[in-house]
């Protein structure tokens, strides 16, 4: 994206838009993480450093379309989580970049069934 202003140009790389989208998506309750694709029938969950790899971004002069590849937590209501991601990502990108987000497509690649360490650790009494 390039904006011409009085004093010069502002250029925002597509990867920056992807990172904004990835961060906004992972903050939604029910999202386990971003997916880097499916290998051997299992969705690969990306760490926080690779958020933009689970995002496909198409940026024009004033508009953007986003595809997010996510892994949801077991038990989460997928339609509700997807709607919240769409709202969160659209708001974050439009607020931070000034782009008009025309679509946010959610691709659920897997379900995380691992329990939190807190649930697995036995209670200790002193």
pLDDT tens for 32-73 read 988 876 555 555 665 556 666 789 999 988 899 999 999 999
How many domains does the structure of the chain reveal?
Answer: 1
For 44-52, which contacts have Cβ atoms below 8 Å and span 24 or more sequence positions?
45/71, 45/110, 45/112, 51/18, 51/19, 51/22, 51/23, 51/26, 52/15, 52/18, 52/19, 52/21, 52/22
Say what the pLDDT of residue 120 is.
45
The per-residue pLDDT for range 102-116, each reduced to its tens digit, is: 999 999 999 998 765
Residue 7 lies in a domain: yes
In a domain, 126, yes or no: no
Q: Which domain holds residue 86?
A: 2-120
- Residue 114, domain member (yes or no): yes
User: Please, what is the average pLDDT of the chain?
Assistant: 82
54 within domain boundaries: yes
Going by pLDDT thresholds of 50, 70 and 90, the confidence category of residue 118 is very low
125: in domain: no
111 in any annotated domain: yes
Q: Look at residue 83 and tell me if it is in a domain.
A: yes
Bigger pLDDT: 117 vs 35: 35
Q: Per-residue pLDDT for 18 more than 90?
A: yes
CATH (domain of 30): 3.30.70.1350
């Amino acid at each position: 994206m390039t904006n011409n202003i009085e004093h010069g140009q502002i250029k925002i790389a597509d990867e920056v838009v992807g990172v904004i989208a990835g961060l906004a998506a992972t903050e939604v309750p029910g999202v386990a993480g971003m997916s880097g694709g499916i290998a051997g029938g299992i969705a690969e969950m990306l760490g926080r450093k690779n958020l933009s790899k689970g995002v496909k971004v198409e940026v024009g002069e004033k508009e953007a379309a986003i595809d997010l590849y996510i892994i949801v937590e077991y038990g989460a209501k997928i339609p509700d989580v997807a709607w919240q991601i769409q709202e969160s990502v659209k708001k974050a990108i439009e607020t931070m970049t000034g782009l008009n987000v025309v679509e946010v497509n959610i691709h659920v690649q897997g379900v995380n069934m691992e329990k939190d360490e807190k649930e697995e650790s036995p209670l200790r009494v002193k």
